Amino acid sequence: MVVPTEAYDDIISLERQPIRVGMIGLHSQSGWAIKSHYPAIMQLSMCFKITALYNKSINQSMETIKDLRLKDAVAYPDLESFVSNSEVEMIVVSTHVVKHYDLLIPILQYATKNSHLKYLFVEWALGCSISQAELIYNEAAKIGIQTIICLQGRKSPYILRAKELINEGALGELNSIEIMGNGGWYGYDRPIKSPAHIYELGYGVDLVTSTFAHTIDILQYITSSYFSKVNAMVFNNIPEQYVVDENGIPTGQKLPKNVPDHLLFQGTLQSGNIPVSCSIKGGKPTKKFTKNLVIDIHGTKGDIKIEGDAGFIEMSNLVLYYSGVKINNVPTNDTPISNSNQNEVMEVHHLRNYNGVLGNIFRLYQAIADFHYSPNGGFKTGKITPFQYQGFEFNGFPTMLDALLLHRLIDNVYKSDSYNSTLDVSNIYTHP
Amino acid sequence: MVVPTEAYDDIISLERQPIRVGMIGLHSQSGWAIKSHYPAIMQLSMCFKITALYNKSINQSMETIKDLRLKDAVAYPDLESFVSNSEVEMIVVSTHVVKHYDLLIPILQYATKNSHLKYLFVEWALGCSISQAELIYNEAAKIGIQTIICLQGRKSPYILRAKELINEGALGELNSIEIMGNGGWYGYDRPIKSPAHIYELGYGVDLVTSTFAHTIDILQYITSSYFSKVNAMVFNNIPEQYVVDENGIPTGQKLPKNVPDHLLFQGTLQSGNIPVSCSIKGGKPTKKFTKNLVIDIHGTKGDIKIEGDAGFIEMSNLVLYYSGVKINNVPTNDTPISNSNQNEVMEVHHLRNYNGVLGNIFRLYQAIADFHYSPNGGFKTGKITPFQYQGFEFNGFPTMLDALLLHRLIDNVYKSDSYNSTLDVSNIYTHP
């Protein structure tokens, strides 16, 4: 399998300074950042160094510095001093989506005061709505900072191998794609300890903006194509949930839910007018005969199946199956599992201990380092030349523009549902 | 498994006369009728007897009578004498769909001259269009003849068991359904011996009117629900096919195709607002990791998976998987395959030698016999009381009204595609 990373020995051998990272949302006791961003940065300590923390309370930052022994890090009492400090070259915003807008707009204003600031790394979904995403994107574009968005599924080794196979023609012409996912949450039961905001619309974390968006972003990335036409139906069939305790036993309490629990989506890809069928279900899976994530991609010369135990493709370990005919009769450098027919090739990829939560984000940080330390990156000139967006490139990383294009698709999902229309989306991918 | 048939010993013991059948489209040398209707009738010879044949050429009928040794059958030179003959109690129309209209309108006119005529059995699709189907239905309704339509998949033992499981609550509340099919034909290659009319729109035999219609009719039947909202996208991505010889080798010839090669369909069932996702692909399957027919039905208490080697559900042998929790802790009378947990039940149904082509039609004829010989059927009174339609009943058989409702759904599939709209179809199932 292709690991999309340069050799890091080269990097260390040069006199390079790690990128100085200021983090928003890193708490030693809980949260997403401590499970994903933090270990990724630690494993890439020649490339990244945490120098600043900002949290709602400075005590939380100080506690985190102490707990994690972040000897180079300073806790900042306010956002302005955190952003404008010359010790910060890269800001990572790892907070609830609902806080993105209120943090990012001032960050982008203060950013002009810090000439060392080069990178702004934000979790998907970049705001709770298309309008928030647009405003944030416009501010970032104005000051020319290099943005990174945590659509980390693009860095999954399974996804990259699938993309590579399709790219080199191993499936021939694609002609049909089916996606089925089980998004977890949003079902009949509500675990008593789950955060309330994921069950309420407008917080930017739901079946559509989260489960679907990551999945469809990956599909577009694998196939190197955006959509031309889409139709969607959004369901809230479970408006009330039963609260269950740690053992899944109902507490007797019921709570309202207004986020979707099911999405039907179908459309055609611009490239090849390929039909894509997609059904994403929320709730605790009862599915016995199918995995919680299945992507079937069919072509004239072969097929790919991607399977996952959980519907969250961007943070899951996966299995990739490929079957097809040899291209130019040159054997691939991958493991052939069965080769009964001389012209048939089959590959099965599964890394038993791959940690999808950490692994994909780790690879995203690697891509940032690749960019930063490359001859055209920030190291040589002292000033980086931002690249607009990743699009469907193997290298690089998704940016705010990639996120904006994805927001536009999501916006059309809701519009299609509201208007009972199949929508032409071929023009939503234009950009400056 | 439940076999939806009464005990035939009872029937024979009574002094009953077999139903006298006049067949249109039975040829001893070729065609569908000789493979399906004919052996079904032969196996039910205490209930049915072929007494008349009509074909385009009387020689063909005479040859068939001779070849099959149909000692009770007469070959008729014209449609009028065939229909009006008192020796005919049931007419079976097993011809190309394109001929339905031109045959059925005169049949229904001549039918008034034959007081013995009780049944009119027609292949799906009952005409090439919604308007033909409506005209035929109206004529039939006027004279009050009992109609039967060959939506024979409803009689598949797998389908009936699935329906039974859902009906008795073995899946709890249904909440998500996914269908994937590979319709054969309509792909990149055109077998040199395949009939030309299946590649041209307007002949009533294509991916939508045939593959999709049978499948979705069965889905509605299993779930006992019609659709409330549908969206569809119809594709003709392969407007030119490569002609291949008997060994699949291209002859060098190319021929145009204008029937669809892919259908995306999604919608919600009236009952429970259940999301249904459906993708039907034409062409020679290259799929290695999935069956050519897969229906996944998920509920709060269990799942059903129906699989078939071919996309043609109405004439395929299938496999039915069920997993769920015991209802009222009463064991089912089916084979438990695994029972590790006291409350979990699993069933797998597969009749290794079940002939789907013959078996389902055989069961349809059985249902006609059940109706005919029942106390309220034709035997007792000498005159049957026609029943309007099967709807979602276990007993009975699909009628022209069932066919008309299905035609309306198909009509909405094409409309949804043309208008780029999600259509409310909740009112298409009304009838006199």
- Looking at chain B from residue 292 to 311, which residues have their Cβ under 8 Å from any Cβ of chain A? 296, 298-303, 305
Q: What is the pLDDT of residue B32?
A: 95
Q: What is the pLDDT of residue B283?
A: 77
B94 contacts B38 by C-beta, under 8 angstroms: no
Q: What is the pLDDT of residue A11?
A: 46
By CA distance, what is A171's nearest residue in B?
B286
When scoring A242, A293, A422, A424 by the number of chain B Cβ atoms within 10 A, the one with the most, hence best to mutate, is A422
- Kindly list the structural domains of chain A, giving each domain's residue range(s) and its CATH number in brackets, ordered by start: 8-153+358-399 (3.40.50.720), 154-350 (3.30.360.10)
Q: Is A323 on the interface with B (CB under 8 A)?
A: yes
Give the ipTM of the model, two decimals please: 0.91
Query: Which residue among B273, B296, B301 sits closest to A290, beta carbon to beta carbon?
Result: B296
Q: What is the pLDDT of residue B325?
A: 82
pLDDT at B418 over 80: yes
What is chain B's mean pLDDT, rounded?
A: 90
- Looking at chain B from residue 389 to 418, which residues have their Cβ under 8 Å from any Cβ of chain A? 416
Q: What is the pLDDT of residue A384?
A: 54
Are A233 and B266 inside 8 Å of each other by CB?
Answer: yes
Q: Is A272 on the interface with B (CB under 8 A)?
A: yes
Q: What is the pLDDT of residue A311?
A: 84
- Is A206 buried (19+), middle (13-18) or exposed (0-12) by CB count in 10 A? buried
Q: What is the pLDDT of residue A374?
A: 81
Give B240-268 pLDDT, tens digit per residue: 999 999 998 999 999 999 999 999 999 99
Q: What is the pLDDT of residue A68?
A: 98
Query: Which residue among A275, A288, A422 sits closest to B235, beta carbon to beta carbon?
Result: A275
Q: What is the pLDDT of residue B377?
A: 56
A87 contacts A51 by C-beta, under 8 angstroms: yes
DSSP-based three-state secondary structure for A270 = coil
3-state helix, strand, coil in chain A (%, to 5): 35, 25, 40
Query: Which residue among A279, A289, A323 sits closest to B288, beta carbon to beta carbon?
Result: A323
Q: How far apart are CA A127 and CA A147, in angstroms?
A: 14
DSSP code per residue over A118-148: -EEEEETTSSSSHHHHHHHHHHHHHHTPEEE
Q: What percent of chain B has pLDDT over 70?
A: 89
Residue recorded with tokens 């404008």:
A84
Give B75-109 pLDDT, tens digit per residue: 999 999 999 999 999 999 999 999 999 999 999 99
Task: Kindly state the average pLDDT of the residues B411-423.
Answer: 98
A84, A417, B70, B313 from B201: Cα distances, Å: 67, 31, 37, 22
Give B323-367 pLDDT, tens digit per residue: 998 765 444 444 443 444 557 899 999 999 999 999 999 999 999
Q: Is A193 on the interface with B (CB under 8 A)?
A: no
Blockwise average pLDDT, block size 10, chain A, 432 residues: 45 69 96 97 97 97 98 97 96 96 98 96 96 97 95 98 96 95 88 91 92 97 98 97 92 95 98 97 78 94 93 94 75 43 85 95 96 67 69 95 98 98 96 74
Q: How far apart are CA A56 and CA A54, in angstroms?
A: 7
pLDDT at B199 over 90: yes
A22 contacts A88 by C-beta, under 8 angstroms: yes
Q: Name the helix (H) or strand (E) containing B180.
A: strand B174-182
Are A266 and B266 inside 8 Å of each other by CB?
Answer: yes
Nearest Cα residue to B402 out of B417, B382, B419, B388: B388
